[in-house]
């Protein structure tokens, strides 16, 4: 007779209980495809990739097991901790490659800006939950202030890519909370006018010695290189030129797994991290790229479905923001690799190599699973 305390079926049921089946299948499909691409792009990292996936899945399971009420109770402490760590980075952080992004805490070096990708939507969702039923315009300004503090600290490091992701995460919460279009449109108009001006006057404002207010020289150089990669073909433009060659040479079906010339002749920089989408499209072509895009679309639809059925304002705002963060990751990475957005160092979600990013993304997926699980429990 089988001892019930060691019944493997009960253990499997216990492990699977917090997980959302559709979300899990989508993530597994993306990670499986990513592993195939990584074996071609950088096979020596396969062992570390397996360890990263194991840690990320453990974090996802723990997050999926926590009730949303527990997440709400830790939102403010995590936000305060994240801001304090960012201040610590500004004062005592380690400088690497001209940026001050890491904080040495003795036993390890950490990058506090990664924490804010999750802490920011948690904090704002908690704030609006507290203000439910009595929201005023000034509450959105307070929320914007809570958002701008960490975004400003991250941008000053400088880390434009992470600042964009944190700002986007906070904006999504504001939008889902009911931010009026009259407050959004002025910023949208300013942004459109700025983009049109840069494109129209690129030859003039990209000249040496012309300063761009609020931007560092290397950030200006990235934008100008985007407008004309051939202006610096062996420097900043090299990444864009080589990635677009790789994408274009893949055609419909690709050159075949392990047969990408841009990848394996070392023309493609950062092929296992930020530019892995170029590896994917060179070897698997448009078909491989469309498969990945479809997986992302399914992930986003599932996340929005969970958000729409969430029982509380906190859960709805958090689920909606987390879902659109996945969209932002994918859109920005594919855009910069394709040459339509500046290179800002945003990884391709669940595909680019990197333990911290993978853990952060799986933490977000685990939170979505928790919201869905507890929605079922209350019968909504």
Residues 6+ apart with CB under 8 A from 19: 61, 64, 369
Residue 214 is predicted with a pLDDT of 67
Residue in this structure with the two tokens 């690129």, named with its chain if needed: 202
Mean pLDDT of 319-334: 94
**44-58, 95-109, 164-178: which has the minimum mean pLDDT?**
95-109
Q: Is residue 8 part of a domain?
A: no
**In the predicted model, is pLDDT for residue 49 greater than 80?**
yes
**In the predicted model, is pLDDT for residue 216 greater than 80?**
no
Q: Is residue 9 part of a domain?
A: no
**Do the Cβ atoms of 281 and 288 come closer than 8 Å?**
yes
Q: Is residue 167 part of a domain?
A: yes
**In the predicted model, is pLDDT for residue 371 greater than 80?**
yes
**Do the Cβ atoms of 313 and 129 come closer than 8 Å?**
yes
Q: Is residue 356 part of a domain?
A: yes
Mean pLDDT of 26-34: 95
Question: Which of the four pLDDT bands, split at 50, 70 and 90, describes residue 270?
Answer: confident
Mean pLDDT of 329-338: 91
Domain count, the chain: 1
**Do the Cβ atoms of 323 and 21 come closer than 8 Å?**
no
More confident residue, 340 or 215: 340
Mean pLDDT of 248-260: 88
Q: Is residue 194 part of a domain?
A: yes
Give CA separation, 348 vs 109, 231, 283, 345, 377, in Å.
23, 27, 17, 10, 34
Q: Which domain holds residue 197?
A: 24-37+44-377
The alpha-helical segments, DSSP class H, found in the chain are 8-16, 21-41, 46-65, 68-92, 112-130, 137-155, 160-176, 181-200, 202-205, 217-227, 236-250, 261-264, 276-308, 313-338, 355-377
Residue 107 is predicted with a pLDDT of 67
The pLDDT > 90 percentage for the chain reads: 48
**Do the Cβ atoms of 353 and 276 come closer than 8 Å?**
yes
Mean pLDDT of 204-229: 74
Residue 1 is predicted with a pLDDT of 44
Q: Is residue 60 part of a domain?
A: yes
The pLDDT > 70 percentage for the chain reads: 94
**In the predicted model, is pLDDT for residue 109 greater than 60?**
yes
Q: Is residue 322 part of a domain?
A: yes
Residue 379 is predicted with a pLDDT of 45
Q: Is residue 231 part of a domain?
A: yes
Side by side, the strands of the sheet bearing 94-96 are: 94-96, 99-104, 109-110
Render the burial of 238-261: b for 16+ CB within 10 Å, e for the rest. Answer: bbbbbbbbbbebbeeebbeeeebe
CA distance 308 to 278: 34
């Amino acid at each position: 007779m089988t001892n019930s305390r060691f019944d493997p079926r009960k253990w499997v049921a216990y492990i699977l209980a917090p997980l959302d089946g559709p979300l899990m299948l989508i993530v597994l499909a993306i990670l499986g495809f990513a592993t195939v691409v990584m074996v071609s792009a950088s096979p020596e990292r396969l062992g570390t990739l397996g360890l990263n996936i194991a840690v990320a899945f453990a974090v996802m399971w723990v997050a999926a097991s926590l009730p949303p009420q527990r997440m709400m109770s830790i939102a403010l402490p995590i936000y305060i901790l994240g801001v304090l760590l960012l201040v610590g980075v500004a004062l005592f952080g380690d400088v690497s490659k001209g940026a001050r992004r890491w904080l040495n805490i003795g036993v390890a070096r950490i990058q506090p800006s990664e924490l804010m990708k999750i802490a920011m939507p948690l904090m704002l969702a908690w704030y609006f939950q507290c203000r439910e039923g009595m929201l005023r315009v000034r509450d959105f300004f307070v929320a914007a202030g809570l958002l701008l503090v960490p975004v400003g600290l991250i941008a000053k490091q400088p880390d434009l890519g992470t600042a964009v992701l944190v700002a986007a995460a906070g904006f999504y919460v504001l939008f889902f909370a009911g931010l009026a279009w009259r407050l959004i449109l002025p910023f949208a108009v300013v942004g459109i006018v700025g983009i049109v001006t840069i494109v129209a006057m690129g030859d003039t404002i990209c000249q040496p010695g012309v300063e761009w207010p609020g931007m560092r020289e290397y950030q200006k150089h990235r934008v100008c290189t985007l407008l004309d990669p051939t202006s610096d073909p062996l420097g900043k433009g090299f990444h864009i030129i080589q990635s677009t060659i790789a994408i274009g040479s893949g055609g419909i079906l690709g050159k075949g797994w392990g047969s990408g010339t841009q990848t394996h002749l070392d023309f493609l920089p950062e092929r296992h991290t930020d530019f892995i989408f170029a590896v994917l499209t060179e070897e698997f072509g448009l078909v491989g790229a469309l498969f990945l895009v479809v997986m992302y679309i399914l992930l986003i639809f599932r996340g929005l479905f969970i958000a729409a059925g969430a029982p509380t304002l906190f859960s709805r705002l958090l689920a909606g923001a987390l879902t659109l963060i996945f969209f932002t990751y994918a859109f920005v990475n594919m855009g910069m690799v394709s040459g339509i957005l500046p290179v800002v160092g945003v990884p391709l979600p669940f595909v680019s190599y990197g333990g911290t990013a993978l853990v952060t993304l799986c933490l977000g997926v685990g939170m979505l699973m928790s919201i869905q699980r507890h929605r079922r429990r209350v019968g909504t």
